[in-house]
Structures are given as C-alpha cells and as structure tokens.
Amino acid sequence: MQLGMIGLGKMGANMRDRLRNGGHEVVGYDLNPEVRDVDSLQALVQSLQAPRVVWVMVPHGEPTQQTVDELGELLDEGDLVIEGGNSHFSDDVKHHEQLGAKGIGYVDCGVSGGVWGITEGYGLMCGGDPEWVEKAMPIFDTLRPEGPREEGWVHAGDVGSGHYAKMVHNGIEYGLMHAYAEGFELLTAKDAVKDVKGVFQAWTRGTVVRSWLLDLMVKALDETPGLEGISEYTTDSGEGRWTLIEGIEHAVPMPVLSAALFARFASRQENSPAMQAVAALRGQFGGHAVRMLDEEAPQVHKGAEPKHDEGAARPGAGAEAPGGEQHDEGAAQAGPTSGSGETEGAHGPAAQEQAAEAGPSSGSGDTGPAGAGPRR
C-alpha cells in the first residue's frame, strides 16, 4: 500500500522504516532536509496516487493544525488523513469536520511503542468512521505487534476516541512508573537490601507486578547502577494533565495519577514554595528551628527513629486534636532541600527553561538509546 508520512522524528522515522520493511511504499516529509524524501507537502501529495492516505506525526497543537490546514487545500475528495500524534481528542472533532466538508476522511490514532516500536510493533488505538478505518487496515496490521490483532490494535469508537484511549493509557503509565519508583526508593533506604537491581529483576517473571516497564527499570539500573547522577527533573507531555482533567469532569477519582503527576511538578522545583511555607509555619506555632538556604543541611541517617516534638505547645490547646503536630517526624530536619542534591548545572533555571521548551513526543516520551527490547 502507498502512504505519505508527515513528521519523521523519533517515532515517525521508525514507523516509516517498519512500513517499508512490511512491503509498503512510504513517502516521507519532514522539516529536516536530511531525513525527508520530498521537499514539501505539495510534493508529497503529488507523489501519491489517488485515493491517497497521509499519516500526520507531528507535535500536537499548532503544528498539527497547520498541517491539517495545508492538507485540506492539497488533498481531494476520497483521500484519507490519519492523525497519529498526541493531539487532544477535542481537536480531532474539529479536524474531522474541517476535512469532512471537502469529502476527505479523517481517523485519529493513538500510538504507543516509543523507540521500541520499530522492532516490537506499536500499540494502536483508532477513532473514526468504520469505512475510513477499514481503508487503512493494511497499514495498521503492519505497524501493530505480531499476534492477534485485538491484542495490539483497537477501533475504539467515534472520532476522537483513539486519542482519548491513548490519553488514558498515558495516565495509567504515569501511575505505574511512580509505583515502581517508590518501591525503588524504599528498597534503597533499607541497609539490609544489598541487590536492589536483583530484586527488580527477580520480579520480571512469575510475579503479578511484571511488565514491560519493569523490564525497562531493570535495564535502566543495569546501564546506570543505583541511578547515580540522574537528575530528578521530570517533564510531562501533557496527556497526564488531560487525563486528570477528564477525571474531574466525569467525577472519576484518580488519586494515583494525581499523585504521580504532582510528583513530576515537584521534581522541577529547586526549593518548593509550599514546603517553605510549612517550615515557616512550624517555626511560628511551635518554635521549631527554620533552616535557611545558606545553612548546611543536617546529617540524616537511614533508619533513624523519628523525633517526637512532644513538648511543643500549641496556642490555646489542651488535649491534642486528631491529626495534630504532637509527633512531628520532620522536627530534626528543618527546611527543604532541592531533593536530589543536584547542582545548578542539572537543576538550575537554564535547565528548567530548556526542559520546558521540549515539546511532547508522539509516543511515551522515552528518548533513551535502543538496546535489548522487551520480552514477549
């Protein structure tokens, strides 16, 4: 089958290669002249035989909208546009109406697989009218993982449902990643545990927590023992936020996702204003020492018993109310630190600005080097 691929970044280029390896003819266009096959969208459209199929794989928002606008002027009735980036599902409805007015088909397709998809296949979640989805089925079958179609591909429903499903997928991913991360920190906090990587590796077969993400955690610990030197600074592509907003809109409790997302926000703060306020308030009501940023942090030993501020008086208080400050575990640790102990080079304003400028990818956001793929 013939296909035009617009956007040849980490995922788009690999998808082009997987499709070509599967016997399809793919013409690719990208702003980068070193990776593209043609020099313009117009040249791409002219190189395809009608009825055409064009896959859009560019960052969501304005880049996608501009691409759809231009394709609307170049394509003909009966052509099909597949939007495979990380667009918001509400944008799909607009694109569908915009192109549909000219008789051009539109299918939204959430794509998961990151840098591993070229060899392992991509998880695909499609939304749109059945006739347009069926038209692109040979492409979907080549991109998806080997095995039963229903285990790597789904026609989720109407236009927008594919990206909605991918959004929820990424929200779940946030929670799973953070659960493994919390387990890692607790294992490293216990002196009796000598082989943290070995524990994670022992979980990869025969346990209920085994997963591809767990395999990748083992790989990360193998490449960087103890994760030494890795900055805590973690960005988010936006889909976790969208998922949480949808949870609020539909009154669906999502405490796991919200905790994972807010933890990412906290990772970008050198000195949390919220914790500054907590430290200041403790100083006000209990007379606890408030450490300033230019003071040396106290030594904290793993496994040390928490200090109890039983002598701290509360104004106007008699008996201690439930949830009060009688047992204040943080009394010996006045003032927040930056968390990881990273220097300005890793956590400073320049690094934050650079990370903020990095737009969302069309996959999971994984940018690590390709290595041993996940187990089947």
Query: Mean pLDDT, to the nearest integer, of 32-52?
Result: 96
Query: Mean pLDDT, to the nearest integer, of 13-36?
Result: 97
Q: Is residue 38 part of a domain?
A: yes
C-alpha 321: how far from chain center: 41
pLDDT band at 297 (very low <50, low <70, confident <90, very high): low
Task: Flag whether pLDDT at 333 surpasses 70.
Answer: no
Total domains in the chain come to 3
Contacts of residue 67, Cβ cutoff 8 Å, sequence gap at least 6:
6, 41, 56, 58
Residue 107 is part of which domain span? Answer: 2-159
Q: Which positions are annotated as active-site residues? A: 166, 173
Same-domain pairing of 186 and 125: no
Pairing, β 80-83 against β 53-56: parallel
| pLDDT tens, position by position, 341-366 | 333 333 343 443 433 333 333 333 33
| pLDDT tens, position by position, 95-127 | 999 999 999 999 999 999 988 999 999 999 999
| pLDDT tens, position by position, 244-262 | 999 999 999 999 999 999 9
Same-domain pairing of 19 and 126: yes
Task: Flag whether pLDDT at 69 surpasses 50.
Answer: yes
Query: Mean pLDDT, to the nearest integer, of 212-228?
Result: 93
Q: Helix axis angle, 239-249 relative to 161-189, nearest 10°?
A: 110
* pLDDT score recorded for residue 343: 33
* Range 325-328 contact pairs with CB under 8 angstroms and sequence separation of 24 or more: 325/282, 325/285, 325/286, 328/282, 328/286, 328/288
Taking Cα atoms as reference points, which of 101, 53, 85 lies closest to residue 162?
85
What is the model's pTM?
Answer: 0.75
Q: Is residue 260 part of a domain?
A: yes
C-alpha 167: how far from chain center: 9
Q: Is residue 319 part of a domain?
A: no
Instruction: Enter the tokens of residue 212.
Output: 């591809």
* pLDDT score recorded for residue 270: 86
Return the biggest CA–CA distance within the chain: 83
Same-domain pairing of 261 and 279: no
Beta-carbon count within 10 A of 126 CB = 26
Same-domain pairing of 133 and 233: no
Q: Is residue 303 part of a domain?
A: no
What's 188's domain CATH number?
Answer: 1.10.1040.10
Query: What residues are paired with 234 via a beta bridge?
Result: none
Q: What percent of the chain has pLDDT over 70?
A: 78
Query: Mean pLDDT, to the nearest integer, of 276-289?
Result: 86
pLDDT band at 286 (very low <50, low <70, confident <90, very high): confident
Task: Flag whether pLDDT at 1 surpasses 80.
Answer: yes
Burial of 172 (0-12, 13-18, 19+ CB in 10 A): middle
Instruction: Enter the tokens of residue 302.
Output: 């793993």
| pLDDT tens, position by position, 175-217 | 999 999 999 999 999 999 999 999 999 999 999 999 999 999 9
